[in-house]
Amino acid sequence: MSDSIGWQHPFSQVEDVERLFDGADYVADRPLCLTTKLAFDLQKPVLLEGEAGVGKTEVAKVLAKVLDTPLIRLQCYEGLDASSTLYEWNYARQILQIRLAEADASRREGLEDSIFGEAFLFDRPLLQAIRHPGPRPAVLLIDEIDRADEEFEAFLLEILSDFQVTIPELGTFTAEQPPCVVLTSNRTRELNDALKRRCLYLWIDYPTPEKEREIILRRVPGIEAELARAVATVMGGLRAVDFYKRPGVAESLDWARALLGLDITEIVPEVVRETAGVVLKYHDDVLKLDKLDLDALIAGRTVEMQD
């Protein structure tokens, strides 16, 4: 990213990524730091996969923060198409312009050129990222790509390979600063091989209890170290249980904040049961708590469901 455009990314060593992420209160492990550095060195998008709530989206946010550059987010959903992601003409304004021209003959000359000009163009996230003026590249977050249709993936391939878009009426736009692209997927479906080949891949797993404790301490100001450790221990134990939806790091942070707000300093089985709704989001999963030895869970021992 640095050679062709005269901008030197700040990650000359993997340790630089670690340091900058750490400064932004993101506890990143070595694989993530190395992959981030390679994304800049090789100018390749990063595809992050992992269970919901492990901090995939946060990576892009932190990256934008440490680079002091805009984060452009494209939230994917079924039915997302090129016009919603690239550009769209402001039809209402165009029609208004046409009606005005009908009423006033002097406005008719050059009407077509004017209604297909920049003033009538809505930039959508992909075009925004391509037209970002710099000096640092924008961070483009394509969130939950697995929710979009396969046709959209094919369309993305073209954009991600050239960072260039042609608008027939206006011409071709090429990115002066190719954006740093982060794609996330929850694996609700397999992505196209061609898209995956173009990306650096990283699976983000649930954190270890030690790492989770560190995350909680960083993200929940005012929490006692002992309570953070207890939250991390219980969450680690809960993730080993066969719940329909296992809690992620986001739930750990919510739970820690909830405990802090309730002035709870020690986790006991009653507290787990009463605040289960913060952590478990399905009724069946909450019912399963009654089948667990919560004392053992709090003590950090492996628990199994009792019939």
Partner 1 sequence: MASPSPVTSAESLVRHTLALCQTARAAGLAVTPAREIDIFRALKSIDWHDAGDYRLVLRTNLASGRADEILFDRVFDTYWGEPAEPESGDTILARSEMIRGSLDAGRSREGHRDMLTEAASFAGEEVTRSSNLLMRWDSDAPPLEKVIRELARRLATRPSRRTHPASHGRRIDLRRSVRRNIRHGLELVELSRVVSKVRKTRIVMLCDVSGSMDVFNPFLLQLMFGLQQTLRNSRTFVFSTRVSEISAMLRRRNIEETLEEISRTVRHWSGGTDIGAALGELNRTVLREGTSRSTVLIVISDGYDNGETQRIERELESARRRIRTLVWINPMYGATTFTVRAAGMRAAMPYIDHFLPAFNAKALHILVKGLIKIR
What tokens appear for 66 in the block?
Answer: 């440490």
Q: How many CB atoms lie within 10 A of CB 290?
A: 11
Q: Is 197 in the site for partner 1 (CB under 8 A)?
A: yes
Among 4, 8, 10, 79, binds partner 1 (CB under 8 A): 79
Among 5, 7, 24, 34, binds partner 1 (CB under 8 A): 34
Among 16, 22, 25, 41, binds partner 1 (CB under 8 A): 41
Task: Compute how many residues bind partner 1; rule: CB under 8 A.
Answer: 37
Per the rule left: phi > 0, alpha: psi between -120 and 50, beta: everything else, 191 is beta
Q: Is 91 in the site for partner 1 (CB under 8 A)?
A: yes
Q: Smaller CB distance to partner 1: residue 187 or 301?
A: 187
Q: Is 251 in the site for partner 1 (CB under 8 A)?
A: no
Q: Is 38 in the site for partner 1 (CB under 8 A)?
A: yes
Q: Smaller CB distance to partner 1: residue 196 or 257?
A: 196
Q: Is 200 in the site for partner 1 (CB under 8 A)?
A: yes
Q: Is 286 in the site for partner 1 (CB under 8 A)?
A: no
First to last CA, the chain: 57
Q: Smaller CB distance to partner 1: residue 47 or 217?
A: 47
Q: Smaller CB distance to partner 1: residue 11 or 72?
A: 11
Q: How far is the CB of 242 from partner 1 (least distance, A)?
A: 6
What is the binding site for partner 1 (CB under 8 A)?
Answer: 14, 30-31, 34-35, 37-38, 41-42, 44, 47, 49, 51, 78-79, 91, 94-95, 98, 149-151, 186-190, 193, 196-197, 199-203, 242, 244
